Amino acid sequence: MTITRRNEFETEDITDIDYESTFVDLEQGKIVRGIVVKVDNNEALVDVGGKSEGILPLREISNTPIESLPKELNVGDEIELYVLREENDDGQVLLSKKRVDQAKGWTYAQEDFQEDRIIKATVIDVVKGGLLVELHKIRGFVPASQLRTQADDLQDLKGIELPLKIIEINQKKNKLILSHRKALEDERSTLRAEVVSNLEEGHVITGKIVRLVDFGAFVDVGGIDGLLPISEISWKRITHPSEVLKAGEEVTVKVFKIDRDLNRVSLSLKRMQEDPWEAISAIFKEGDKIKGKVTKLASFGVFIEISEGIEALLPTTEISDEPINLDENYPIGKEVDAFIKKFKPSERKISLTFREYHDEKKALVEAQVQSVVEVVTEVVAEVKEKVAEVVAEVKEKVAEVVAEVKEEVTENIESKE
């Protein structure tokens, strides 16, 4: 419910201003009543019962910029003013309207805060981190994190009146922080209870994403915000919701948890898709050789995506018996080959190992070496056989030559005799 502010001002509640003193006292710091007798673009003259009219400069009219003074004041208006400077020799008094408005405003704001009221305030500017608003003639700040709006550009909110709740107030530090989100939550508390009462776990509903945070996304479903946790966005590992979602996007989600005591709803987007673990038994089994990509490093091992939405753990003990630097050897995105050591899809657990893979490589190398040895042995045997044949042929030839030489020598000797 929006609170309508009363016109009366209880002067005893105004901080640092003596409202108990008479209004005809024109000493500095006092409050006086006066009637506007003249208005121009730069100042107004006000009859405050002094020797002459008091001066109300344009800069002391309001905390927010105004186009022209005649639009703010009219001749004959009766107003309360703060004495900035008492009468000088010419009888002139310097007055301020915004000081009184500020004092009243802080008092009203404090009441709003203590009563936990919903109030209306107009957006006057967009600044870094949020909005500046005006309420009770004072300025307040609405952080962007406390906004709940579908506006693409916060500049579009300038001049718009928003329902707000004060969440922090400190007049001495001139600090006034407000929340748009909390005001809407209170306004919709009845609606929230009604919406939640009509929901059941397993219901499929459509909503619009209103905000992304590190731990998930908030989705407007029927006027209330449901939480879509980051773990329920995708079967695939993501580090931030913005990787797959954006504010303002319409999504169809499944209700997977309801807290009726707190009227909270938890939603799931990934449960609208087929669970990859349900079909994995037909794809893999223990002992299978797989290829995957590194998705995450931990002190105890490496997580490897072996199929869309399926991650398996390769423990450090299955990588090497020696200390190993995982960051250097297994950067995110690296493709690796491994073997499935333990396969428990019902528990959503798959454990990998390199050892069989390394043994296979070793066996392959040994087989290749053995093959080479066998080939070399065969070649050597063939060479030995060829050499023996050649030696036998040479020996035979030598023997024939020796026999021929002996025969020829014998003939020569006999002929000489």
pLDDT in tens, 111-149: 999 999 999 999 999 999 999 999 988 899 999 999 988
Q: Which residue segments constitute the domains of the chain, with CATH numbers given?
A: 11-102 (2.40.50.140), 118-185 (2.40.50.140), 199-272 (2.40.50.140), 276-353 (2.40.50.140)
- Please tell me the chain's helix, strand, coil percentages from 3-state DSSP, rounded to the nearest 5: 35, 35, 30
Nearest partner of 10 among 113, 98, 80, 94, judged by Cα:
80
> What integer pLDDT is reported at residue 233 of this predicted model?
92
Say whether pLDDT at 110 is over 90: yes
Position with higher pLDDT, 360 vs 225: 225
C-alpha dist (Å) from residue 384 to 75, 112, 395, 396, 397? 130, 109, 16, 18, 20
pLDDT at 17 over 60: no
**Does the structure show a pLDDT above 50 at 216?**
yes
Which amino acid type is present at position 390?
V
344-371 confidence digits (pLDDT tens): 887 888 889 987 655 555 566 667 777 7
Give dist(CA 142, CA 133) in Å, integer: 7
**CB-CB neighbours of 42 under 10 Å:** 10
- Of 35-44, 56-65, 327-336, the poorest mean pLDDT is in 56-65
d(CA 413, CA 400): 20
- Please state whether the predicted TM-score (pTM) of the whole model is above 0.75: no
Per-range mean pLDDT, top range of 20-34, 277-291, 336-350:
336-350
Residue 55 confidence (pLDDT) above 70: yes
For Cα atoms 194, 200, 203, give the angle at the middle one, nearest 5 degrees.
110
**CB-based contacts of 368: which residues, under 8 Å, 6+ apart?**
none
* Across 70-89, average pLDDT: 81
Q: Is the pLDDT of residue 20 over 50?
A: no
The Cα 242–Cα 212 span in angstroms is: 7
What is the rounded (10 degree) CA torsion for 193, 199, 201, 206? -110
End-to-end CA distance of the chain: 157
Categorize the per-residue pLDDT at 24 as very low, low, confident or very high, splitting at 50, 70 and 90: low
Structure tokens at 281: 């038994």
Under the banding of pLDDT at 50, 70 and 90, the label for residue 240 is very high
Among 62-71, 165-174, 201-210, 246-255, the minimum mean pLDDT is found in 62-71
Q: What are the residues whose beta carbons fall under 8 Å from the beta carbon of 50, sequence distance 6 or more? A: 26, 87, 91, 93
Check residue 8 and give its pLDDT.
Answer: 42
Helix (H) or strand (E) holding 103: helix 98-115
DSSP code for 2: B
In sequence order, the 6+-apart residues with CB closer than 8 A to the CB of 227 are: 216, 217, 218, 219, 264, 265, 266, 267
What are the tokens at 247?
């504010």
Higher pLDDT, 405 or 252: 252
